Amino acid sequence: MRRLIHNVSIFDGSGSARFEGAVLIDGERIARVVPSVSDLEGDEVDERIDGHGGTLMPGMVEAHAHLTWASSIEKIYHQFVLPQEELKEAAWRNARILLDQGFTSAYSAGALAPGIEPELARAIEAGETPGPRFIPSTIERSPQGEAGVETGDIFNGRGSEAIRRFVAHCQDEGVKSLKLVISGEDALKPGSSKDILYTDEEMTAAGEAAKEAGLWIAAHAYSPRAIALAIEAGVRILYHCSYADDAALDMMIAKKDELFYAPGPGVCVAALEANPPPHVDLSAAKDSAGNRLRHEAEIVPKLKQRGMRILIGGDYGFPFNPNGTNARDLQHFVDHYGFTPSEALQGATMFGGQLMGRGDELGLVKQGYIADLLIVDGDPTRDVAILQDANRFRMIMKGGATHKLMADHADA
């Protein structure tokens, strides 16, 4: 099917200014991007979509997805660990919710149980359930925290051979990206963010085994040493890095053409805003959130200035930070890191397509690219907060097929 989208201003995802234009879609791909409909005279069109002066932009990419972290804007869970079937039901729901919110791709930052995410990725690809393009992960693998604090799942024991067995298991499961928790977590155990939860040998083994298996690694890292271990292991994306020193920043920049960075402000802002009942103690999470945001306000602009690819994604899935509010990260980038709206959007579109391993066909409004597209009522390059309102999405398109199209926009 050939579809024409017209009467729109186009934000192409590159960070450049919006421009007036029209887009011709042939099947699942963008066939042409032209200044006006008159440039398409003679082209056959099966359907015309009138954007009514809205903004056409690429679908967004969630770079730190936790679809098995069950809480969403549709259903809040006050317990974190759920029975397998309920966890699966929540993951399927959260995938659909992300797509409803304009996220056409998602890169997993870890799951609460093995097997669920690869199954979900296969179901989405087969068209059995709605959801974004999905890079699945398995459990967040980390050694147990001190004094019995559970920071993840050790899975298969300690040592280099245990790591290799874990990678082999992930390959067998259909996982595409491992999640390694290298640093401790102050929100769970105050003062532990500087702790290193893997040995040098284990991290080396993880990097070697993942490369041999053709898998990526996502790393939870706060401290300079954790960042160094992750980079030496060849990780694809670093999360947080809140306490990076100048040497760690230099290491990140040295690998900026191979490495992605997602600081994850969403969970911090949500923790600071949260007003839990008296029996729920979020004091450690609030202290950690405030400290992280203060440090990131210094390091994130430095990294942006030096050309680091910085992506949105903020640990959504907690009851106080539910799946479906992911677009809040865009405004956080503006408020806390000094990004312009267009810079924040670039991190959610063009850089996201690159993170997904499809930078040559995903994340831009460009001829030959996959038609993952949104029509937004308004101009998000001036007010990025409008993307938090799903009612502003007049069209959500994935691979040339409309997941959502308001009736008054179809004028075939």
**Per-residue pLDDT, 189:** 79
Residue 338 domain-assigned? no
Residue 346 domain-assigned? no
pTM of the model: 0.94
**Per-residue pLDDT, 44:** 85
d(CA 94, CA 68): 8
Domain that holds residue 53: 2-58+360-409
Is pLDDT above 90 for 195?
no
Stated length of the chain:
412
**Per-residue pLDDT, 151:** 44
Mean pLDDT of the chain: 93
Q: Give 56's strand partners.
A: 10, 375
Phi, psi of 106 (to 5 degrees): -150, 140
DSSP strands (E only) in 11-129 = 19-26, 29-34, 47-50, 55-58, 60-65, 103-108
Q: Does residue 146 sit in the same domain as residue 248? A: yes
**Per-residue pLDDT, 389:** 98
**Per-residue pLDDT, 156:** 59
Q: Does residue 384 sit in the same domain as residue 240? A: no
Q: Does residue 102 sit in the same domain as residue 225? A: yes
d(CA 272, CA 289): 7
Q: What percent of the chain has pLDDT over 90?
A: 80
- The CATH number for 207's domain is 3.20.20.140
Residue 230 domain-assigned? yes
CA 138 to mean position of chain CA atoms: 16
Q: Which helix (H) or strand (E) holds 331?
A: helix 328-337
Q: What percent of the chain has pLDDT over 70?
A: 95
Q: Does residue 50 sit in the same domain as residue 66? A: no
Please write the tens of the pLDDT for every residue from 169-194: 999 999 999 999 999 888 877 888 88
Residue 382 domain-assigned? yes
Residue with tokens 């604090």: 149
Q: Which residue in 327, 305, 318, 310 sits closest to 388, CA to CA?
A: 327
Rounded average pLDDT over 264-278: 91
Q: Does residue 173 sit in the same domain as residue 73? A: yes
Using the Cα atoms of residue 150, residue 228, residue 257 and residue 206 in order, give the sign of their dihedral.
negative
Q: Does residue 90 sit in the same domain as residue 160? A: yes
Q: Does residue 186 sit in the same domain as residue 275? A: yes
Q: Does residue 133 sit in the same domain as residue 241? A: yes
Rounded average pLDDT over 141-155: 50
Q: Which two tokens stand for residue 410?
A: 């179809």
Identify the domain boundary among 326, 343, 377. Answer: 326
Q: Does residue 49 sit in the same domain as residue 78? A: no
Q: Does residue 34 sit in the same domain as residue 139? A: no
Is pLDDT above 50 for 285?
yes
d(CA 350, CA 360): 10
Banded model confidence at residue 38, pLDDT cuts 50, 70, 90: confident
Q: What letters, b where the CB count within 10 A reaches 16 and e where it falls short, cover 316-341?
A: bbbbbbbbbbbbbbbbbbbebbebeb
